[in-house]
């Protein structure tokens, strides 16, 4: 199973991604987590990515693709992937599309976690108090929500046009969202 999760910050991608990955025995590729690990390790990718992340902006595509493409293809070869945080723009989706098709790594389903803005802000600021993420503060939250609207939201139409999109009402308890996602997934194939 190859699953892409899309949603604004605070929509539950990380939480639902973990559950789905466990359920289907997939590698959970959380792009934000990978980037934070690179930053913590002080790697060249991390050093380049840090300032974009601190501002709540997208890290340049070239860097993201360098980090992710080998992982996505390796995971697809090993039985599937659960991608949480990539692609985050139509440009990113297009940059990997042809290569992914050739590699048998096109997603089986794209899940969009839909949550109203006021609830997103509430969740992110609540998480800030617990996780101490550098980008979970009021200024950056605004930027990240704007980046989602401008750069990531167009993916909804992009994947709808390809018949892959499943919209999930994610403004409800974690277990209900998880059940709704399972209902929407195609029967587990390869
Ligand atoms: P997240 O944990 O998914 O909210 O991601 C945290 C930050 O990592 C984002 O605000 C971006 O700066 C960066 N990031 C994550 N995924 C991507 C991506 N696909 N493209 C560019 N930047 C990304």
The string of pLDDT tens digits covering residues 20-48 is 999 999 999 999 999 999 999 999 999 99
The pLDDT-based confidence of 152 (bands split at 50, 70, 90) is very high
pLDDT 10s digits, 44-62:
999 999 999 999 999 999 9
| Edge-first strand listing for the sheet containing 2-6 | 27-30, 81-84, 2-6, 109-114, 165-169
CA of 36 to the centre of ligand 1 (A): 9
* 78 CB burial (10 A radius; 0-12, 13-18, 19+): exposed
**Hey, what are 62's tokens?**
């070239």
Which has the minimum average pLDDT: 51-65, 136-150, 169-183? 136-150
With a 6 A CB cut-off, is 124 part of the ligand 1 pocket? no
Beta bridge partners of 109: 3
Question: Which two tokens mark 106?
Answer: 């096109």
Q: Is the peptide bond before 136 cis (omega within 30 degrees of 0)?
A: no
Mutate which of 36, 85, 132 to test ligand 1's pocket (most atoms within 8 Å of Cβ)? 85
Split at pLDDT 50, 70, 90, the class of 129 is confident
**Residue-level pLDDT at 60:** 97
Q: Please pick, among 127, 153, 160, 166, the residue that the annotation labels catalytic.
A: 127
Q: Comparing 13 with 139, which gets the higher pLDDT?
A: 13
DSSP string, 50-103: HHHHHHTPPPPHHHHHHHHHHHHHHHHHTT-EEEES---SHHHHHHHHHHHHHT
Burial code (b: 16+ CB inside 10 Å, e: under 16) for 154-185 equals ebeebbeeeebbbebebbeeeeebbebbeeeb
What average pLDDT does range 94-123 have in this prediction?
Answer: 95
- pTM over the 0.95 mark: no
Q: Which of 86, 103, 72 is nearest to 151 (CA)?
A: 86
pLDDT grade for 138, boundaries at 50, 70 and 90: confident
- Check whether 81 has a pLDDT greater than 90: yes
Per-residue model confidence (pLDDT) at position 190: 44
DSSP-assigned letter for residue 152: I
């Amino acid at each position: 199973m190859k699953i892409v999760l899309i949603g604004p910050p605070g929509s539950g991608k990380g939480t639902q991604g973990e559950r789905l990955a466990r359920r289907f025995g997939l590698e959970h590729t959380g792009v934000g987590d990978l980037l934070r690990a690179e930053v913590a390790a002080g790697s060249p990718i991390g050093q380049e990515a840090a300032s974009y992340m601190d501002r709540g902006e997208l890290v340049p595509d070239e860097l993201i693709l360098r980090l992710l493409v080998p992982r996505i293809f390796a995971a697809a070869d090993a039985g599937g992937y659960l991608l949480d945080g990539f692609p985050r723009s139509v440009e990113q989706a297009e940059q990997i599309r042809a290569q992914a098709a050739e590699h048998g790594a096109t997603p089986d389903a794209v899940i969009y976690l839909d949550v109203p803005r006021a609830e997103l802000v509430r969740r992110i600021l609540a998480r800030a108090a617990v996780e101490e993420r550098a980008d979970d503060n009021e200024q950056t939250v605004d930027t990240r929500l704007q980046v989602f609207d401008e750069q990531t939201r167009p993916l909804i139409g992009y994947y709808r046009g390809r018949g892959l999109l499943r919209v999930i009402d994610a403004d409800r308890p974690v277990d209900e969202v998880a059940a709704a996602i399972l209902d929407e997934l195609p029967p587990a194939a390869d």
